[in-house]
Amino acid sequence: MTPSTTRLPAASKDDEQCHTTHGYITDKERYLARLKRIEGQARGIARMVDEEQYCIDILTQVSALTAALRGVALGLLDDHMKHCVLDAAQLGDEAGLAKMQEATEAIARFVRA
């Protein structure tokens, strides 16, 4: 998935969110399509277990599912950095630092998984 390069207007200082639409909104349909495919993959893995298929084949599918979810997460993180964090940084030090901290915590959760 190619990250969006479309910039949204910067949020006002009164706005608590990064902007009225999220950074991923321009790729929303692609994210939804990917998530539907991932959902199908998960159902397929459950079916493989139910049918008692070979464990290595199931593990291969689990690995593919994990990679697909990681791709979605990285795309969302990239969109967040290019939109929410950048917009907050343009508002000033406090807003920018808060969004950077939020992104840092999200990255930490991501790499722990």
Residue 97 domain-assigned (yes or no)? yes
Q: Which string of DSSP letters, residue by residue, matches the chain?
A: -PPP-PPPPPPPTT-SSS-SS-GGGGGHHHHHHHHHHHHHHHHHHHHHHHTT--HHHHHHHHHHHHHHHHHHHHHHHHHHIIIIIHHHHHH-HHHHHHHHHHHHHHHHHHHH-
Is position 12 within any domain?
A: no
Is pTM, for the whole model, over 0.85?
Answer: no
Overall number of domains in the chain = 1
Q: Is residue 8 part of a domain?
A: no
Structural domain harbouring 99? 24-112
The reported pLDDT for the residue numbered 85 is: 84
Count CB-CB contacts under 10 A for residue 83. 25
pLDDT given for residue 16 in this prediction: 47
pLDDT, tens digit, 9 for 90 and up, residues 39-95 = 999 999 999 999 999 999 999 999 999 999 999 999 999 988 888 888 888 887 888
Q: In this structure, what CATH number is given to the domain that contains residue 91?
A: 1.20.58.1000
